[in-house]
Amino acid sequence: MAPRLSDPAPIDAISGSAPVGGSAFRRRRRGEFVAAAAILLAAAALPLGIDSVYVENILVLTLMYAALSQSWNILCGYCGQISLGHALYFGIGAYATTLLLVKFGIPPWFGFVAGGILAALVALALGYPCFRLKGHYYTIATIVIAEIASILVLNWPWAGAAMGIQIPYAQPSWLAFQFGRSKIPYFYFVLALAAVTWLATWLIEDSKWGYWWRAVKDDPDAAESLGVVVFRSKMAAAALSAFFTAVAGGFYAEFVSYIDPDSVMNLQLSLLMALPAVLGGIGTLWGPALGAAIIVPLSELTRSYIGGSGKGTDLIVYGALVMVIVLLRPEGLASLLRRRPGAAVP
Amino acid sequence: MSETLLELRGVTRRFGGLAATDDVSFALAPGELVGLIGPNGAGKSTLFNLIAGALLPSAGTIRFEGEDVTALPAPARCARGIARTFQVVRSFDSMSVLENVVVGALARLANPRAARHKAHEILDFVDLASRAERPAGELTMADKRRLEVARALATEPRLLLLDEVMTGLTPSEAQRGIDLVRAIRKRGIAILMVEHVMEIVMPLVDRAIVLDLGRVLASGRPDALVRDPAVIGAYLGQRRSSSVGHAPGA
Amino acid sequence: MLTASSIAQIMVSGLLTGLIYALVAVGLSLIFGLMNVVNFAHGEFLMLAMYATFGLALGLALDPLVAVPIVMAALFVFGAAVYLGIVSYAMRARVNSGMVQIFSTFGLAILLRGLAQYFLTPNYRSIAHSWLGSRTFALGPIYVPAPQLVGALISIAAFFALWLLITRTDFGKAIEATREDADAVALVGISKNRVFALGWGLGAMLVGLAGAILASFYYIYPNVGGPFALIAYVTVALGGFGSVFGALAAGVIVGLVEALTAVILPSDLKEVGVYAVYLAVVLFRPRGLFGSI
């Protein structure tokens, strides 16, 4: 079927048995999935052994940032368009969920989905003008757009303006997505969200879109010559990324029961969504989760134990740590776990 | 279905006031192996980009298999069956050799598993199977060229545009390259190749098109072209014959 | 009431502010043009310069104008040190080098803010007495505060000096050469590392100049770099990364747009005008006004 070049003349031969390493690839994929399932189960069992609300809070935040960073990774890690304005989608999710609940009495579950869809549509609409921008011009455009949105909401009385919106207390129930004092149900929701974003990434890695996105990231012109419609690829990645980010935003609104532009739409948040992926490894499967698992507890702990005095020591530690990790391991900490970046799909 | 695979009529491409490609017309038949030669600055790469869809012409038409593809961008031309390599190798360095070829295979196959299978076949065909797992960035120059060809072949083209694939190769590498080109041709794929290295191109191709200053200077069988005074004149001042390993240009 | 003279006042004010924005931005643009690195700690460089000026005023009773050369020299050294100690490592990253640069300087920014907060407290500071102080010049019906006017003039002078440096000196030629092909310059005896370090020093020195000027009429606190940095990034991108003239032109545009927007919209919305202008410009010119990269 496929004559070898070194054959003296093309022979009607079959090129050997099944592709070399084909089953090794499937084994690796299965291994990843099994590892993820095991981690999921272990994480699900965590609350049983933990009594402290403080620790539960850290766990929830860690998982949320894992989900956020994984979503960011889809557009920026795999597709290579570095957005530092993802707080826009987080804010859309937070505000959509909250406004639908507070103004129209619509349960948060619908709000999550509605916010996600709205964010995806916004991402598509923005993609049209923005994706023709390259490199830093694109990044700054994302920053600027998020800032505009934040400023607009700050001046929009119906949406609470600078005062923000408080979510009123409701009887604890899954429908109302409120649970009194317990953080455990929030933990399970956000664990599920993190798992879903991981799964989406895992599916992407071995999908047509995944290959195309990585090709676009490496060399858009070469990708085009192989039939990849770059623009459409980026739009799909943007919409998917925005959807999950917004769902997390809606979740966060319910979790803290109060939102304002400063807490759900600011630039710092955009940077914090990207940071775990950078530390853990952009464009890798485990990077964002690993990065979140390290940086979020660390940031919370330093803030609580060192930063309380307002002396900025927590910032010193945090900033130094980010620098050290990024410089020592540019490809991310996930590379310590297994294969080198860019290697081996058999 | 006409017997012409590719037809250019009056294709012109201007940059500012300069016409890098000037009223170029020619045709290729299915399965032909044609060389595109000319001195430095003749506009060979521009012409390649025009055929591949990386550039759109300022004037003229391009027809492929009877269809007017002049306005189609590169991805659509790939879908129609035109594939190309790049003069400066552009591999996807964050991916392995196999994954690079898979990207090409996905132009025709939606299923990644089928695409991987096909990629393995293609790597066998170009003799890169032993390197399948390696990161593409680690390959030698000659192997990278081979990878580019493999990637393009994975899209199942009927016309393959090879941009100076032989440049900078050692004699033994060049020989393997020639064998590869012949093997591709045996699969029925038409090839248009830009080359500087005369000793390689002339014995290999059915016929050649000579470009000079963006225009078609002459076209015909290689043995006739090397005796054509106009062709020789165009090359005077550059060189009369080149040696293997000449630096790329044009 | 919007009279012709009040509009003129606003525009003059915007122009002067814009010239200072340009000065803040040009260092960023220079570094990017030289080596394709965006310094995410740029705002913190500004903050450090402001604190240094404040410290010299407080400790040595040096007027900000006098302190300018000292602060510039200090920032020059600091900038070169940041390159040698941090950025040169970031640039060695084979993968994700863009993100590594951004986040290593981002980490530096947070570290610097933390250090400022730790050693200097979060309190707002200002320089109480300076020679220019609260003097105001009157140009017809328009009042121009002396510090802003002098600052704007210094900025223009700095741009001129920078232009001379780049076009007339060997160092300027070395910068151009390194910008074009950083790996090839070694062949002509130019040390890429040295040019980069000096480039960072120069970029930091320029923002140090801006900081010294700003310190005489602006509040100084650990996070003061943030808003300035954002404006600087937008200015650089608007003008085109790597273009010195672009930074100047864009700075002026940003200053004017900001001032005029504040007239039409509530003042906390004034940045929206600037952002909108940026988006409008890159829609038609994806590389900014004068960018070639």
A321 contact C CB<8A: yes
Instruction: Return the higher-pLDDT residue of A112 and B222.
Output: A112
pLDDT of A8 higher than 50: no
Among B199-203, B242-246, C176-180, name the one with the lowest average pLDDT: B242-246
Q: How far is A98 from chain B (nearest CA, A)?
A: 40
User: Looking at chain C from residue 12 to 41, which residues have their Cβ under 8 Å from any Cβ of chain A?
Assistant: 32, 38
Q: Do C282 and A313 touch (CB under 8 A)?
A: no
The angle subtended at Cα C82 by Cα C76 and Cα C83, nearest 5°, is: 95
A317 contact C CB<8A: yes
Residue B130 in domain: yes
pLDDT of A10 higher than 60: no
- pLDDT level of residue A14 (50, 70, 90 thresholds): very low
ipTM: 0.87
Instruction: Return the higher-pLDDT residue of A312 and C169.
Output: C169
Range of the domain at A120: 49-265
Instruction: Return the higher-pLDDT residue of A307 and C254.
Output: C254
- pLDDT level of residue B236 (50, 70, 90 thresholds): low
pLDDT of B246 higher than 80: no
Token pair of A256 as six digits: 């803290």
Q: Are A212 and A223 in contact (CB under 8 A)?
A: yes
Rounded to an integer, what distance in angstroms lies between the CA atom of residue C174 and that of residue C185? 8
Task: Tell me how crowded residue C242 is: count the other CB atoms within 10 A of its CB.
Answer: 22
Q: Mutating which of A12, A208, A225 best tests the B interface, going by the most B Cβ atoms within 10 A?
A: A225
A32 contact C CB<8A: no
pLDDT of B245 higher than 80: no
Q: Give the per-residue pLDDT at B249.
A: 43
Instruction: Return the higher-pLDDT residue of B95 and A120.
Output: A120
Q: Do B112 and A25 touch (CB under 8 A)?
A: no
Question: How far, in Å, are A165, B125, C65, C258 from residue C210 at the CA level?
Answer: 40, 63, 11, 19
Q: Give the per-residue pLDDT at A22.
A: 61
Q: Are A127 and A235 in contact (CB under 8 A)?
A: yes
Q: Do C114 and A278 touch (CB under 8 A)?
A: no
Burial of A203 (0-12, 13-18, 19+ CB in 10 A): exposed
The angle subtended at Cα C71 by Cα C69 and Cα C77, nearest 5°, is: 105
Q: Which of A131-135, A207-211, C202-206 is most confident? A: C202-206
- pLDDT level of residue C1 (50, 70, 90 thresholds): low
User: Number of structural domains, chain A?
Assistant: 1
Q: Do A222 and B92 touch (CB under 8 A)?
A: yes
- pLDDT level of residue A310 (50, 70, 90 thresholds): low
Q: How does pLDDT run across B165-194, given as a tens digit for each residue? A: 888 888 888 888 899 999 999 999 999 999
Residue ranges and CATH numbers for the domains of chain C are 4-284 (1.10.3470)
Q: Which of A22-31, B47-56, B200-209, C2-11 is most confident? A: B47-56
Residue A43 in domain: no
- pLDDT level of residue A172 (50, 70, 90 thresholds): confident
Q: Nearest-CA residue of chain A relative to C274?
A: A144
Token pair of A2 as six digits: 């496929």
List A165's β-bridge partners, or say none: A259
pLDDT of B250 higher than 80: no
Instruction: Return the higher-pLDDT residue of C218 and A344.
Output: C218
Query: DSSP alpha helices (H): ranges in C169-243?
Result: 170-180, 192-215, 225-239
Q: Give the per-residue pLDDT at C159.
A: 92
Burial of A163 (0-12, 13-18, 19+ CB in 10 A): exposed
Q: Give the per-residue pLDDT at A90.
A: 96
Q: Are B188 and B173 in contact (CB under 8 A)?
A: no
Angle, helices B141-153/B171-186, rounded to nearest 10 degrees: 10
Among A53-57, A253-257, C35-39, name the one with the lowest average pLDDT: C35-39
What amino acid is encoded at B25 in this protein?
Answer: S
pLDDT of C201 higher than 90: yes
pLDDT of A1 higher than 60: no
Instruction: Return the higher-pLDDT residue of A25 and B211.
Output: B211
- pLDDT level of residue A329 (50, 70, 90 thresholds): confident
Q: How far is A28 from chain B (nearest CA, A)?
A: 14
pLDDT of A336 higher than 80: no
Q: Do B176 and A5 touch (CB under 8 A)?
A: yes
pLDDT of B134 higher than 50: yes
Query: DSSP alpha helices (H): ranges in chain B?
Result: 44-52, 74-80, 97-105, 112-125, 141-153, 171-186, 198-204, 222-225, 229-235
Q: Do A319 and C95 touch (CB under 8 A)?
A: no
User: Number of structural domains, chain B?
Assistant: 1
Give mean pLDDT, residues C22-41: 88
Average pLDDT, chain C: 86
Instruction: Return the higher-pLDDT residue of C179 and C265.
Output: C265
Q: Do C117 and A315 touch (CB under 8 A)?
A: yes
Give mean pLDDT, residues A149-170: 87
- pLDDT level of residue A317 (50, 70, 90 thresholds): confident
Instruction: Return the higher-pLDDT residue of A133 and B83.
Output: B83
The number of residues making up chain B comes to: 250
Q: Do B86 and A226 touch (CB under 8 A)?
A: no
* Residues from chain A contacting residue B121 (CB–CB below 8 Å): 1-2, 15
- pLDDT level of residue A24 (50, 70, 90 thresholds): confident
Q: How does pLDDT run across A113-124, given as a tens digit for each residue? A: 999 999 999 999
pLDDT of A17 higher than 50: no
A343 contact B CB<8A: yes
Q: Give the per-residue pLDDT at C293.
A: 55
Percent over 70 (pLDDT), chain B: 93
Q: Give the per-residue pLDDT at C24.
A: 93
pLDDT of A163 higher than 90: no
User: Looking at chain C from residue 89 to 108, which residues have their Cβ under 8 Å from any Cβ of chain A?
Assistant: 89-90, 93-100, 102-104, 106-108
Q: Are B228 and B236 in contact (CB under 8 A)?
A: no
Q: Nearest-CA residue of chain A relative to B52?
A: A225
Q: Do A342 and B94 touch (CB under 8 A)?
A: yes
* Residues from chain A contacting residue C288 (CB–CB below 8 Å): 137
Q: Do A278 and C100 touch (CB under 8 A)?
A: yes
Residue A217 in domain: yes
Q: Do A134 and C268 touch (CB under 8 A)?
A: no
* Residues from chain A contacting residue B155 (CB–CB below 8 Å): 226-227
Among C169-173, C237-241, C277-281, name the one with the lowest average pLDDT: C169-173
User: Looking at chain C from residue 226 to 245, which residues have their Cβ under 8 Å from any Cβ of chain A?
Assistant: 230, 233-234, 237, 241
Q: How far is A344 from chain C (nearest CA, A)?
A: 16
C164 contact A CB<8A: no
What pTM was estimated for this model as a whole? 0.83
Neighbours of chain B (3+ CB pairs under 8 A): A
Instruction: Return the higher-pLDDT residue of A19 and C220.
Output: C220
The angle subtended at Cα C22 by Cα C16 and Cα C26, nearest 5°, is: 160
Task: Tell me how crowded residue A289 is: count the other CB atoms within 10 A of its CB.
Answer: 29
Residue A75 in domain: yes
Q: Do C90 and A313 touch (CB under 8 A)?
A: no
Rounded to an integer, what distance in angstroms lies between the CA atom of residue A97 and that of residue A92? 8
- pLDDT level of residue B224 (50, 70, 90 thresholds): confident
C58 contact A CB<8A: no
Q: Give the per-residue pLDDT at B240.
A: 45
Q: Do A148 and C272 touch (CB under 8 A)?
A: yes
Q: How does pLDDT run across B48-86, given as a tens digit for each residue? A: 999 999 999 999 999 999 899 999 999 999 999 999 999
Residue A167 in domain: yes
Rounded to an integer, what distance in angstroms lies between the CA atom of residue A66 and that of residue A291? 8
Q: Give the per-residue pLDDT at C193.
A: 85
Q: Do C234 and A140 touch (CB under 8 A)?
A: yes
> Which of A212, A283, A343 minimises the CB distance to B103?
A212
Closest CA to C195 of C208, C209, C206, C181: C181
Q: How far is B12 from chain A (nearest CA, A)?
A: 21
User: Looking at chain A from residue 131 to 170, which residues have their Cβ under 8 Å from any Cβ of chain C?
Assistant: 132-137, 140-141, 143-145, 147-148, 151-152, 154-155
Q: How does pLDDT run across A188-226, given as a tens digit for each residue? A: 999 999 999 999 988 888 888 889 888 888 888 899 999
CA atoms within 13 A on the CB side of A325: 27
Task: Tell me how crowded residue B79 is: count the other CB atoms within 10 A of its CB.
Answer: 14
Q: Do A143 and C122 touch (CB under 8 A)?
A: no
Range of the domain at B116: 83-157
- pLDDT level of residue C218 (50, 70, 90 thresholds): confident
B213 membership: H or E segment, kind and range:
none
Residue A201 in domain: yes
What amino acid is encoded at C166 in this protein?
Answer: I
Q: Do A226 and B95 touch (CB under 8 A)?
A: no
> Which of C97, C275, C287 minimises the CB distance to A137?
C287
User: Looking at chain C from residue 189 to 228, which residues have their Cβ under 8 Å from any Cβ of chain A?
Assistant: 222
CA atoms within 13 A on the CB side of B218: 18
Rounded to an integer, what distance in angstroms lies between the CA atom of residue A29 and that of residue A206? 9
Task: Tell me how crowded residue C130 is: count the other CB atoms within 10 A of its CB.
Answer: 22
Percent over 70 (pLDDT), chain A: 89
Task: Tell me how crowded residue A221 is: count the other CB atoms within 10 A of its CB.
Answer: 13
Residue A338 in domain: no
Question: How far, in Å, are A104, A105, A119, A147 from residue A97 at the CA level?
Answer: 10, 10, 12, 20
